[in-house]
Amino acid sequence: MGKWTRRAFITTGVLGGGALLVGVGLRLGNRNSELAPLVAAEGEHLVNAWVKIGADNQVVAIVPHSEMGQGAQTVLAQMLADELDARWEDVSFLEAPAEDAYANWTLAKGYALAGMKVPAVLEDSVNGLMFQASKAMKMQITGGSLSVRATGVYGMRVAGAAARELLIEAAASTWQVSPAKLTARDGRIIEIDGERSAPFAEFAAAAGRLTPNPSPTLKHPDEFRIMGRSTPRLDIPAKVNGTTQFGIDASVEGMQYATIQAPPVFGASMVSFDARRAKAMQGVVDVVQIDDAVAVVANSYWNASRAMREVDITWSHTDHDSSSSQGYFNQFAADMQRDRAQGSSTVDIEKGDAGNVIANAEKVISRSYQVPWLAHTCMEPMNALAQFNGDSCEVWTGTQNPLGTKHAIAAALEVDVTQVTLHQHQMGGGFGRRAKPDTAIQAAKLARAVGKPVKLIWSREEDVQHDHYRPAVRSEFRAVLDEAGKPLAWENQFVEKHEPAEAPYVPYAVPNQYVHYTDSPTHVPFGAWRSVDHSQHGFFTESFIDELAYEAGADPYAYRRELLAHLPRHRAVLDKAAAAANWDTPLGEGRGRGISLQESFGTLVAQVVEVTLADGDLSVDRVVVVVDPGFAVSPDGLTAQMESGVVYGLTAALYGEISIENGAVAQSNFHDYNALRMDRSPVIETHIINSMEHWGGAGEPGTPGIAPALTNAIYAARGVRIRELPITKYELGSASV
């Protein structure tokens, strides 16, 4: 039985062993073409989350989100358990396997209810051991800080509430009482004014035959028992004793090891290679061309990697052999200038008549900012293990998009998708990088080429030089202030528009706004990087508003605050950050504070950074973070994400630069693409505001505001305005940073 609700599609069924199965699907506003094949027939729906209560009263949730350290799985289980009124100890979690069936109710119903052959993981649930949840989309992507705000709110909570109501209804029928006389608590149905009480499992089968309420009542926050509490993460114990199985730890019998080298210049192809010396080396199995890259397969990674250095490869010439970062930044400026002159840029926001105000103003404040390409450098280098059995391919890897990766492998190998099995592993960092299937495809091709199972591990050098990069962006602002110093007109022109669309928008009250962008393509591959476009635009907009404050002779905090009278939620976050950071208490000589405010992925974050600049050395002393995610399901998990986002953003602001020289990436490893380390890491204090507005994300919103808060602090301390990142481009005194 299934019904669409305002929020979701809810469906129920009974599994073998008398287990209750509840599936919840997201209602998709726009039918994505990627999803269309999965819902081709009338009555088919996309299912987002599976929840099952087994005969042993164990609750298992299967959701599509991959664990890359963000604690998503624990938080989602909390949301389910609370709405269901299960015992927290009885709830376990399983990541949805990369099977279309898990995304499609009609397919899954066939597996789960009609006694057809079932996939191995679902089989466990059919046997009554597990409770399942899964996902709606062919793209099972973990990203966009979506776990809580989409799957959690519209999947897990609804599934939990629906299952709870069904169980109560079934119990009421069995006991011949009104459902109003019953409640649920700690995994049991309880008669409110009576003696009777029984575990959920007793009513699971009966509940599975009922038609779900199309709009189950979600709990009021006052009723939350598990949400809002910091629950120890389920995945941590295995991460302190070395037993967590990351993709790089996967192993099969007869496995060989490989490493690979792609053309240094993006877009080049391989002309020829001489592998005679490499093939003669100890342990080398083969040297193979995979598309335009060359891979060495050997009996150990070390043998593969030292033989790789002995392969002479001739790469083709390309139109980009002399491309450079400086050339691209010049190109951005020239293309923007051309679009301005010709009025040929693309309009992003037009409000009032900024052009006219600026054209007729006595004083226009113009500033330009730019940021470089960035790599992700996940701690776990890219890797995948692949094996062929006849025409079938098995791949073991950690990916942010298991189902998409499986389809990409099938397409690349030109085999049917049913012949590809993907075993998802924990990820040693993702940050957007592991949304790409490139390494898994290479591994699959290698395994087929050599006829043996192959674990492909990229060197760190390959990782840095063949990432999908956060794009370099230039942004040019023009503003006019009114007599009181408030912005009357705001123009922002930039290059490279991606997602989210609102990244360049500001919350401040500016009556005339003109935001527009220019396409200025480069040959450097694009990838989503933590917070995507917010990472650049947070720096640009929060730097420029800071500059306007100083132009107006105002305090940067007070100036922002004045411009937020229409947004009390924003103002509350900003105020709390200023208060927590003792904004009004002056710091000593050479010290300064900077502030920023960012709204991204549905969450508001204000940050205050304190720095000391002494003898040319920059010390980032303290970071105060105030975050309003609507509601913090796991306060400690949210706090950890803020700390993480801050350090990730500080790394980029302080050191992060992928530069292009002669068409290729100049950096190669942590010695020249450094990361913030403990010795320079600030004290980070996180304060949470639960405004009870829409629930937002956690993984990304901590990152975009940190660079401008830092550079605004440097300006406050020393009067050096940083308009280009990383800050190593500036002399902050005698010594480098």
Partner 1 sequence: MIELTVNNRPVALDVDPQMPLLWALRENLALTGTKFGCGIAQCGACTIHLDGAPVRACVTPVASAVGKQVTTIEGLAEGDQLHPVQQAWIDYQVPQCGYCQSGQIMSATALLASNPQPADDDIRAAMAGNICRCGMYSRIHKAIRAVADGGVAVWEPADEQEVRHG
- Please report, as residue ranges, which positions from 662 to 691 form the binding site for partner 1 (by CB under 8 A): 669-671, 675-679, 681, 683-691
Nearest distance from C-beta of residue 217 to partner 1, angstroms: 17
Beta carbons of 133 and 97 less than 8 angstroms apart: no
Q: Does 32 bind partner 1 (CB under 8 A)?
A: no
Q: Does 50 bind partner 1 (CB under 8 A)?
A: no
- Give the range of 96-104, 161-169, 502-510, 636-644 binding partner 1 by CB under 8 A: 636-644
Q: Does 385 bind partner 1 (CB under 8 A)?
A: no
Beta carbons of 515 and 505 less than 8 angstroms apart: yes
DSSP H or E stretch at residue 23: strand 19-26
The C-alpha atoms of residue 410 and residue 406 are separated, in whole angstroms, by: 6
Give the one residue of 459, 513, 518, 603 binding partner 1; rule: CB under 8 A: 459
Give the one residue of 176, 178, 243, 342 binding partner 1; rule: CB under 8 A: 243
207 by DSSP, 3-state: which?
helix
> Which residue's CB is nearer to partner 1, number 512 or number 639?
639
Site for partner 1, residues 107 to 146, rule: CB under 8 A: none
Nearest distance from C-beta of residue 223 to partner 1, angstroms: 12
Nearest distance from C-beta of residue 68 to partner 1, angstroms: 6
Site for partner 1, residues 60 to 99, rule: CB under 8 A: 68-71
Number of residues that bind partner 1 (CB under 8 A): 79
> Which residue's CB is nearer to partner 1, number 243 or number 342?
243
> 677 CB contacts (<8 Å, ≥6 apart)?
none
> Which residue's CB is nearer to partner 1, number 324 or number 691?
691
> Which residue's CB is nearer to partner 1, number 37 or number 237?
237
> Which residue's CB is nearer to partner 1, number 214 or number 228?
228
> Which residue's CB is nearer to partner 1, number 311 or number 427?
427
The C-alpha atoms of residue 459 and residue 248 are separated, in whole angstroms, by: 12
Nearest distance from C-beta of residue 28 to partner 1, angstroms: 30
> 514 CB contacts (<8 Å, ≥6 apart)?
347, 349, 350, 351, 354, 355, 489, 490, 491, 492
Q: Going along 524-600, which residue ranges are E strands?
A: 591-600
Q: Does 282 bind partner 1 (CB under 8 A)?
A: yes
- Give the range of 335-343, 429-437, 590-598, 726-734 binding partner 1 by CB under 8 A: 429-437
Q: Does 232 bind partner 1 (CB under 8 A)?
A: yes
Q: How far is CA 653 from CA 384, 486, 499, 690, in A?
A: 31, 28, 21, 29
> Which residue's CB is nearer to partner 1, number 46 or number 647?
647
Output the DSSP codes for 104-118.
BHHHHHHHHHS----
Site for partner 1, residues 499 to 528, rule: CB under 8 A: none
Give the one residue of 6, 33, 117, 242 binding partner 1; rule: CB under 8 A: 242
Nearest distance from C-beta of residue 602 to partner 1, angstroms: 16
The C-alpha atoms of residue 179 and residue 196 are separated, in whole angstroms, by: 13
The C-alpha atoms of residue 44 and residue 512 are separated, in whole angstroms, by: 47
> Which residue's CB is nearer to partner 1, number 71 or number 527?
71
The C-alpha atoms of residue 148 and residue 150 are separated, in whole angstroms, by: 6
Q: Does 643 bind partner 1 (CB under 8 A)?
A: yes
Beta carbons of 39 and 104 less than 8 angstroms apart: yes
Output the DSSP codes for 267-329.
T--EEEEE-HHHHTSTTEEEEEEETTEEEEEESSHHHHHHHHTT-EEEEPP-TTTT--HHHHH
Nearest distance from C-beta of residue 691 to partner 1, angstroms: 5
With both helix axes pointing from N to C terminus, report the angle between 706-718 and 534-551 in degrees, rounded to the nearest 10.
Answer: 30
Give the one residue of 427, 454, 710, 722 binding partner 1; rule: CB under 8 A: 427
Nearest distance from C-beta of residue 33 to partner 1, angstroms: 32
The pairing of beta strand 487-495 with beta strand 512-518: parallel
Q: Does 305 bind partner 1 (CB under 8 A)?
A: yes
Site for partner 1, residues 615 to 634, rule: CB under 8 A: 632
Give the one residue of 65, 188, 233, 723 binding partner 1; rule: CB under 8 A: 233
Site for partner 1, residues 167 to 226, rule: CB under 8 A: 221
Site for partner 1, residues 540 to 599, rule: CB under 8 A: 576
- Give the range of 98-106, 424-432, 491-499, 721-729 binding partner 1 by CB under 8 A: 424-432
Beta carbons of 139 and 403 less than 8 angstroms apart: yes
Nearest distance from C-beta of residue 234 to partner 1, angstroms: 11
The C-alpha atoms of residue 39 and residue 48 are separated, in whole angstroms, by: 13
Q: Find out whether the peptide bond into 471 is cis, omega within 30 degrees of 0.
A: no
The pairing of beta strand 8-15 with beta strand 2-4: antiparallel
Nearest distance from C-beta of residue 552 to partner 1, angstroms: 31
The C-alpha atoms of residue 79 and residue 83 are separated, in whole angstroms, by: 6
Nearest distance from C-beta of residue 457 to partner 1, angstroms: 7
Give the one residue of 216, 430, 663, 697 binding partner 1; rule: CB under 8 A: 430
Identify which of 712, 705, 684 has the alpha carbon closest to the alpha carbon of residue 574. 705
Give the one residue of 692, 731, 735, 736 binding partner 1; rule: CB under 8 A: 692
Q: Does 249 bind partner 1 (CB under 8 A)?
A: yes
Nearest distance from C-beta of residue 479 to partner 1, angstroms: 33
Handedness of CA 95, 98, 104, 108 (dihedral sign): negative
Q: Does 280 bind partner 1 (CB under 8 A)?
A: no
Backbone φ, ψ for residue 654 (5° rounding): -80, -40
Give the one residue of 93, 490, 517, 648 binding partner 1; rule: CB under 8 A: 648
Identify which of 145, 57, 16, 151 has the alpha carbon closest to the alpha carbon of residue 95. 151
